C-alpha cells in the first residue's frame, strides 16, 4: 500500500513539476550565464596557462550558488505551499502517510535540481580541453554537488515541515546552511570565550578543532580542491558522507515532527478561516464610515505589512542607538583609545552610515516584496481590485502605508551623516559636493531602484521570494549581461568617456524603472481577469 501510494504520489509530483515554465527558464538562464563565462575565459585563454581549472571552478561555483539560493527556495516550499493553500489535510485524507508525502514532495524537486546541474556538465567536459583539470576532478566535483543537493533538499524539507510560511522556512534554511557550510561562525564563539573566559585557551583550541572539522566537510571550502585534484585515490570523501548522513538525519526529523505540525497547520487553517470571516465583517461595518474607508488600504498595509507602529519605532530609534552603542563599545573594548574624541565620533558616524544603508535596502525589499504577494497569497487581491478605484489609485494607497517604515529605515544612515557633519563640517561639505558631481553616486541609487521595481512586478507573478530573485538578477546576472552588451555596442565611447558610460547606465536604469512601474496596472488587470 505504501509503495503504491508513494509511487502514484511521486509520479503526480513529477508531472506537476515538469509543467512549470519557470524550471525551463531557470535552466536556460543557467546555460546562458555559463556561456557568458565561457566567452570571457576563451577571450583570455591565450594569456593564461591551465585556464580549464579556473573555468571549471567558476562554473561549479555558479551551480553551487544557483542551487543554494533558488534551490533553497524551491526545497523550503515543498510542504509550506500545501499549508498556505490549506491542502495538506486533503492529502492526508487520500491515505498518503507522512513518509509518502515527504518523499513524494522532496524527491521530484531534487530531480529538478539535478537536471539544473546537468545543464553545466557539457561545459565542464569542455574545460578539460583548456588544461589544468582532469576527469577525476570533475567527477569529484559532480559527486560533491549531488550529495550537497540531497542534503539541501532534506534540510529544506525539514524547515518546510516546521514552519507555516515559505519565508520563515527559507530563513531557517539559510541559518542551517550557514551552520553547516560556513564554519566561520565559530569565530563568534571565539570572541565570546575570549571576552568572558580569558584564561581558558583550551576552549579556543576546541573551537579551532571544530572549525577545521567542519571546513573539511563543507563543499564550499572543498569545491576548488576537487576541481584541481590530481592525486589518485577514492572518489568518495568525508564531505559526501557527512552530507548524506545529514540528509538522513533531516529526513528522520521531518518524519518525527510531521504529525505535530500537520495538526498545527490544520488548526491554523481553521483559525485563518475564522479570521477571514471576522475581517469580512469588519470591512462590511467600515463601509459606512467614509473617512475610515478612504485610508483603509494604506492603514491595512501599514498594519499588516509594515508592522504597525512598532517596526518604525525600532528602525528609527532603537536601531541607531544600538548601532552607535555597538560601534562605541567595539572601539573602546578593542584596546586603549589613543585617538581623539573627534576621530572616535567620525568612526561611529561611518559605522552608522555603513550599517544603515543595507538595513534600508533590506527593509525596502521585504516590504515591497510583500505588499502585493501577501494579497495574492491570501487570495484577497481580486476583492481589492473590485473596489471603485483606478489601478494607480489602488497601487498608491497600498504603497502609502509603507512610507513610515521606509523613512524610518533611513534614520540610521541620516543620523550617521548628520553626526559626521557636526564633527567635521568641511569634510562633509566636500563629500556632498563630490557626491553631487559624481555620476556614479546617482548610479548607486538608480541601480537598487531598478532592482526593487523588478521585484515589485515579480511579486505579482511569483509565489515565493520575488525580491530575492530580483536581487539575484539585478546584482548578479544583469550587470554581467548589460556590461557585455554595452562594451560590444559602445566600446570606443566607453573608453573615451567613463562618466558618459555611467550616465548611459543611469538612463537605462531609469527607463527600466519606468517600464516596470507601467507594467503594474497591467499585471493587476491580468489577475482580475484570471480570477
Question: What are the backbone angles phi and psi of residue 158, rounded to the nearest 5°?
Answer: -60, -50
Task: From 238, 258, 370, select the one nearest 303 (Cα to Cα).
Answer: 370
Over residues 400-404, mean pLDDT: 90
Q: Model confidence at 147, in pLDDT bands (50, 70, 90)?
A: very high
- Given a cut of 60, whether residue 493 has pLDDT beyond it is no
Task: From 413, 254, 240, 230, select the one nearest 319 (Cα to Cα).
Answer: 413
Q: How far does Cα 504 stand from its chain's mean position? A: 29
The pLDDT assigned to 290 comes to 40
Q: Do residues 394 and 504 both lie within one domain?
A: no
Q: Do residues 401 and 501 both lie within one domain?
A: no
- The boundaries of the domain holding residue 122 are 1-180
Q: Is 99 helix (H, G, I), strand (E, B) or coil?
A: helix
Q: Do residues 59 and 121 both lie within one domain?
A: yes
Angle between helices 498-530 and 478-489 (to 10 degrees): 130
* Choice between 203 and 397, residue whose per-residue pLDDT is larger: 397
> Can you give the pTM of this predicted structure?
0.69
Place of cell 473590485: 386
* Choice between 487 and 363, residue whose per-residue pLDDT is larger: 363
Question: What are the backbone angles phi and psi of residue 341, rounded to the nearest 5°?
Answer: -65, -30
Q: Do residues 385 and 530 both lie within one domain?
A: no
The pLDDT assigned to 113 comes to 82
- Given a cut of 70, whether residue 10 has pLDDT beyond it is no
If one counts every other C-beta atom within 10 angstroms of the C-beta of residue 196, the result is 8
The answer to whether position 240 is within a domain reads: no
The answer to whether position 250 is within a domain reads: no
Q: Do residues 42 and 165 both lie within one domain?
A: yes
The pLDDT assigned to 518 comes to 92
The answer to whether the beta carbons of residues 251 and 154 sit under 8 Å apart is: yes
Q: Do residues 102 and 175 both lie within one domain?
A: yes
CA distance 417 to 3: 64
The pLDDT assigned to 288 comes to 37
If one counts every other C-beta atom within 10 angstroms of the C-beta of residue 187, the result is 12
- Given a cut of 80, whether residue 302 has pLDDT beyond it is yes
Q: Do residues 23 and 167 both lie within one domain?
A: yes
The answer to whether position 284 is within a domain reads: no
Q: Do residues 54 and 155 both lie within one domain?
A: yes
CA distance 262 to 239: 33
The answer to whether position 247 is within a domain reads: no
Q: How far does Cα 278 stand from its chain's mean position? A: 34
* Choice between 214 and 493, residue whose per-residue pLDDT is larger: 214
What is the 3 state secondary structure string of 277-298?
A: HHHHHHHHHHCCCHHHHHCHHH
- List the single range of 2-6, 412-416, 463-467 with lowest mean pLDDT: 2-6
Place of cell 469580512: 280
User: Last residue of some domain: 409, 429, 449?
Assistant: 429
- Given a cut of 90, whether residue 278 has pLDDT beyond it is no
User: Which long-range contacts link 110-114 to residues 24+ away (Cβ below 8 Å)?
Assistant: 110/75, 110/149, 110/150, 110/153, 111/14, 111/17, 112/17, 112/23, 112/74, 113/67, 113/71, 113/74, 113/75, 113/149, 113/152, 113/153, 114/146, 114/149
In 252-282, which positions are buried (b, 16+ CB within 10 angstroms) versus exposed (e)? ebbbeebeebbeebeebbeeeeeeeeeeeee
Whole-number average pLDDT of the chain: 76
The answer to whether position 275 is within a domain reads: no
Question: What is the DSSP track for 303-342?
Answer: HHTS-TTHHHHIIIIIHHHHHHHHHHHHHHHTS---S-HH
User: Last residue of some domain: 367, 401, 429?
Assistant: 429
Q: Do residues 467 and 351 both lie within one domain?
A: no
Q: Do residues 208 and 335 both lie within one domain?
A: no
Number of structural domains found in the chain:
4
- Given a cut of 90, whether residue 341 has pLDDT beyond it is no
Over residues 47-60, mean pLDDT: 69
The answer to whether position 232 is within a domain reads: no
Q: Which distant-in-sequence residues (6+ apart) come within 8 Å of 188 by Cβ?
A: none
The answer to whether position 225 is within a domain reads: no
433-459: pLDDT as tens digits: 666 667 777 888 898 999 999 999 988
User: Last residue of some domain: 167, 197, 217?
Assistant: 217
CA distance 220 to 224: 8
The pLDDT assigned to 449 comes to 92
The answer to whether the beta carbons of residues 397 and 297 sit under 8 Å apart is: yes
Please state, in angstroms and as integers, the Cα–Cα distance from residue 433 to each residue in 58, 351, 404, 410, 438, following that order.
Answer: 40, 21, 29, 21, 9
Q: Model confidence at 430, in pLDDT bands (50, 70, 90)?
A: low
The answer to whether position 271 is within a domain reads: no
CA distance 480 to 301: 36
CA distance 472 to 474: 6
Task: From 60, 45, 225, 59, select the one nearest 131 (Cα to Cα).
Answer: 45
- Given a cut of 80, whether residue 355 has pLDDT beyond it is yes
- Given a cut of 80, whether residue 2 has pLDDT beyond it is no
Q: Do residues 20 and 151 both lie within one domain?
A: yes
Q: Do residues 194 and 175 both lie within one domain?
A: no
The answer to whether the beta carbons of residues 269 and 86 sit under 8 Å apart is: yes
Q: Model confidence at 158, in pLDDT bands (50, 70, 90)?
A: very high
CA distance 81 to 374: 13
CA distance 462 to 455: 10
Amino acid at each position: 500500500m505504501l509503495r503504491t501510494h508513494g509511487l502514484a504520489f511521486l509520479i503526480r509530483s513529477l508531472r506537476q513539476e515538469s509543467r512549470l515554465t519557470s524550471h525551463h527558464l531557470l535552466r536556460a538562464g543557467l546555460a546562458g550565464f555559463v556561456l557568458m563565462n565561457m566567452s570571457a575565459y576563451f577571450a583570455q585563454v591565450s594569456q593564461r596557462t591551465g585556464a580549464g581549472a579556473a573555468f571549471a571552478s567558476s562554473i561549479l561555483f555558479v551551480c553551487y550558488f544557483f542551487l543554494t539560493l533558488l534551490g533553497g527556495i524551491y526545497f523550503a516550499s515543498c510542504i509550506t505551499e500545501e499549508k498556505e493553500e490549506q491542502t495538506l489535510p486533503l492529502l492526508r485524507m487520500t491515505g498518503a502517510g507522512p513518509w509518502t508525502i515527504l518523499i513524494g514532495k522532496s524527491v521530484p524537486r531534487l530531480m529538478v535540481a539535478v537536471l539544473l546541474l546537468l545543464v553545466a556538465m557539457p561545459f565542464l567536459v569542455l574545460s578539460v580541453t583548456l588544461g589544468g583539470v582532469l576527469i577525476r576532478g570533475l567527477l569529484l566535483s559532480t559527486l560533491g554537488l549531488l550529495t550537497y543537493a540531497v542534503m539541501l533538499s532534506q534540510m529544506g524539507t525539514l524547515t518546510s515541515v516546521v514552519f507555516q510560511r515559505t519565508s520563515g522556512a527559507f530563513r531557517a534554511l539559510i541559518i542551517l546552511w550557514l551552520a553547516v557550510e560556513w564554519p566561520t561562525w565559530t569565530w563568534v564563539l571565539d570572541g565570546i570565550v575570549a571576552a568572558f573566559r580569558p584564561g581558558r585557551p583550551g576552549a579556543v583550541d576546541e573551537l579551532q578543532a571544530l572549525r577545521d572539522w567542519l571546513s573539511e566537510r563543507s563543499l564550499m571550502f572543498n569545491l576548488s580542491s576537487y576541481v584541481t585534484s590530481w592525486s589518485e585515490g577514492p572518489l568518495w570523501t568525508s564531505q559526501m558522507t557527512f552530507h548524506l548522513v545529514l540528509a538522513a538525519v533531516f529526513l528522520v526529523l521531518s518524519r518525527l515532527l510531521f504529525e505535530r505540525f500537520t495538526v498545527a497547520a490544520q488548526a491554523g487553517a481553521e483559525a485563518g478561516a475564522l479570521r477571514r470571516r471576522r475581517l469580512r465583517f469588519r470591512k462590511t461595518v467600515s463601509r459606512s464610515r467614509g473617512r475610515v474607508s478612504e485610508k483603509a488600504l494604506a492603514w491595512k498595509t501599514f498594519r499588516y505589512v509594515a508592522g504597525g507602529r512598532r517596526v518604525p519605532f525600532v528602525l528609527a530609534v532603537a536601531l541607531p542607538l544600538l548601532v552607535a552603542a555597538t560601534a562605541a563599545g567595539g572601539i573602546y573594548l578593542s584596546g586603549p583609545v589613543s585617538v581623539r574624541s573627534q576621530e572616535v565620533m567620525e568612526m561611529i558616524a561611518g559605522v552608522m552610515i555603513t550599517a544603515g544603508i543595507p538595513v534600508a535596502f533590506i527593509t525596502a525589499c521585504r516590504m515591497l516584496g510583500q505588499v502585493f504577494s501577501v494579497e495574492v497569497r491570501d487570495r484577497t487581491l481580486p476583492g481589492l481590485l473590485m473596489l471603485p478605484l483606478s489601478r494607480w489609485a489602488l497601487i498608491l494607497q497600498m504603497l502609502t502605508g509603507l512610507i513610515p517604515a521606509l523613512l524610518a529605515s533611513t534614520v540610521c544612515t541620516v543620523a550617521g551623516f548628520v553626526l559626521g557633519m557636526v564633527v567635521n563640517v568641511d569634510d562633509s561639505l566636500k563629500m556632498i559636493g563630490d557626491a553631487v558631481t559624481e555620476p556614479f553616486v546617482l548610479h548607486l541609487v538608480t541601480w537598487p531602484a531598478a532592482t526593487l521595481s523588478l521585484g515589485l512586478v515579480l511579486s505579482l507573478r511569483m509565489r515565493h521570494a520575488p525580491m530575492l530573485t530580483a536581487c539575484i538578477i539585478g546584482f548578479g546576472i544583469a550587470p554581467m549581461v548589460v556590461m557585455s552588451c554595452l562594451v560590444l555596442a559602445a566600446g570606443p565611447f566607453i573608453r573615451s568617456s567613463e562618466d558618459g558610460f555611467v550616465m548611459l547606465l543611469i538612463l537605462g536604469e531609469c527607463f527600466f524603472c519606468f517600464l516596470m512601474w507601467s507594467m503594474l496596472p497591467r499585471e493587476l488587470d491580468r489577475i482580475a481577469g484570471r480570477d
